[in-house]
């Protein structure tokens, strides 16, 4: 499709494969499937969910929200919910929001879903972006912990947004600023536009800083982290941050080689891989971290519960 090579892509990004949804599949389809899998793993009925958060920048449509579509698909009667828009940081923000809904005492079970069909907003004539993104969805069920959980669960979150970086990664048209028109389509403004180097530099710096500061204020260092599960945007961003944090490769989950950047889905997909590979056990200190469009930055720290 574009002037590139497999070698360039692998060396510069770490990506070897990506998944692209078939034309009939939209974000809510993948989100509902991921949600069902999460519920099945825990043996929880959809009627027992109190809230559904769908983190996405590629909703099926502006409204109704993807959370409503997923709720209906799951038959999760009694749940409320909403979509959360924070691009690649979406899932980390969703996890934190969900954790606070549970810790408030008002919710027992919150389903947090990260789902993006990036292929619908990617310009496959732009070699600087089309090689990066893939489609995917993942879900996590947050539950109120009991006394036997021994302090397991959410520990802390640190986040930051910086709108001055908004122009470096965006989908310019389709909203109230530039509604869809013949011109916006002709000018390819309904696709992702990115200044790759600017985003790269910011991500390398911020991924490290937010993790360092979050660990520090909780009395930890990188040595204490059992597993770092970062957003998967570029292998070089992950490696640079992990090295500076002194978290060795055996304690960092990287699966960008198989999925590319699936935006809000990278962290739940990576977590699922960590579980499948037997790399997470009860009591482990887990660090989630992401930097994304906005700019958005976030990291959260957890004690693994099972």
Binding flag, residue 207, ligand COA (CB under 6 A): no
The residue (of 12 and 108) whose beta carbon lies closer to ligand COA is 12
Region of 293 please: left (phi>0), alpha (psi -120 to 50) or beta.
beta
Binding-site size for ligand COA (CB under 6 A) equals 19
Q: Are strands 285-292 and 296-303 parallel, antiparallel or unpaired?
A: antiparallel
Residues counted in the chain: 306
Binding flag, residue 196, ligand COA (CB under 6 A): yes
Shortest Å distance, C-beta 298 to ligand COA: 12
Q: Are strands 109-117 and 193-194 parallel, antiparallel or unpaired?
A: unpaired
Residue 296 CA to residue 290 CA, distance in Å, equals 8
22-31 in b/e form (b: 16+ CB < 10 A) is eeeebbbbbb
> In Å, how far from its chain's centre is CA 184?
28
Binding flag, residue 229, ligand COA (CB under 6 A): no
What is the helix (H) or strand (E) element at residue 112, kind and residue range? strand 109-117
Binding flag, residue 58, ligand COA (CB under 6 A): no
- The correct pick among 52, 88, 110, 112 for binding ligand COA (CB under 6 A) is 88
Query: Cβ(158)–Cβ(210) under 8 Å?
Result: yes
Binding flag, residue 12, ligand COA (CB under 6 A): yes
Only one of the segments 116-124, 127-135, 175-183, 218-226 lies at the binding site for ligand COA (rule: CB under 6 A); that segment is 127-135
Question: So which residues are the catalytic ones?
Answer: 88, 231, 261
Only one of the segments 126-134, 139-147, 153-161, 241-249 lies at the binding site for ligand COA (rule: CB under 6 A); that segment is 126-134
Binding flag, residue 283, ligand COA (CB under 6 A): no
**Closest by alpha carbon to 89, among 138, 122, 55, 52?**
55
Only one of the segments 51-59, 143-151, 193-201, 215-223 lies at the binding site for ligand COA (rule: CB under 6 A); that segment is 193-201
- The correct pick among 127, 190, 235, 244 for binding ligand COA (CB under 6 A) is 127
Q: Binding residues for ligand COA, per CB under 6 A? A: 4, 8-9, 12-13, 88, 127-128, 131, 169, 196-197, 199-200, 203, 233-234, 261, 292
């Amino acid at each position: 499709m574009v002037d590139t090579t497999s070698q360039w892509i692998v060396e510069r990004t770490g990506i070897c494969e990506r998944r692209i949804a078939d034309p009939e599949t939209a974000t809510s389809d993948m989100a509902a499937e991921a949600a069902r899998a999460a519920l099945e793993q825990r043996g929880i009925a959809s009627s027992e969910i109190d809230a559904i958060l769908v983190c996405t920048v590629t909703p099926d449509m502006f409204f109704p929200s993807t959370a409503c579509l997923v709720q209906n698909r799951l038959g999760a009667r009694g749940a409320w919910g909403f979509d959360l828009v924070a691009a690649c940081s979406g899932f980390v923000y969703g996890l934190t929001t969900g954790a606070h809904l549970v810790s408030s005492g008002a919710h027992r079970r919150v389903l947090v879903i990260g789902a993006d069909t990036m292929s619908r907003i990617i310009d496959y004539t732009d070699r600087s972006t089309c090689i990066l993104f893939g489609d995917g969805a993942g879900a996590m069920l947050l539950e109120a912990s009991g006394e036997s959980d021994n302090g397991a669960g959410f520990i802390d979150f640190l986040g930051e947004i910086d709108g001055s970086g908004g122009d470096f990664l965006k989908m310019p048209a389709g909203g109230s600023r530039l509604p869809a028109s013949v011109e916006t389509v002709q000018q390819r403004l309904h696709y992702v536009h990115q200044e790759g180097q600017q985003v790269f530099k910011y991500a390398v710096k911020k991924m490290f800083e937010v993790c360092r500061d979050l660990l520090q204020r909780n009395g930890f260092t990188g040595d204490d982290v059992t597993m770092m599960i970062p957003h998967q945007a570029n292998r070089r961003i992950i490696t640079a941050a992990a090295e500076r944090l002194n978290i060795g490769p055996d304690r960092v989950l990287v699966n960008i080689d198989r999925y590319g950047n699936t935006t809000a889905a990278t962290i739940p997909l990576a977590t699922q891989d960590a579980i499948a590979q037997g790399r997470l056990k009860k009591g482990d200190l887990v660090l989630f971290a992401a930097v994304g469009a906005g700019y958005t930055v976030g990291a959260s720290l957890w004690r693994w519960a099972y």
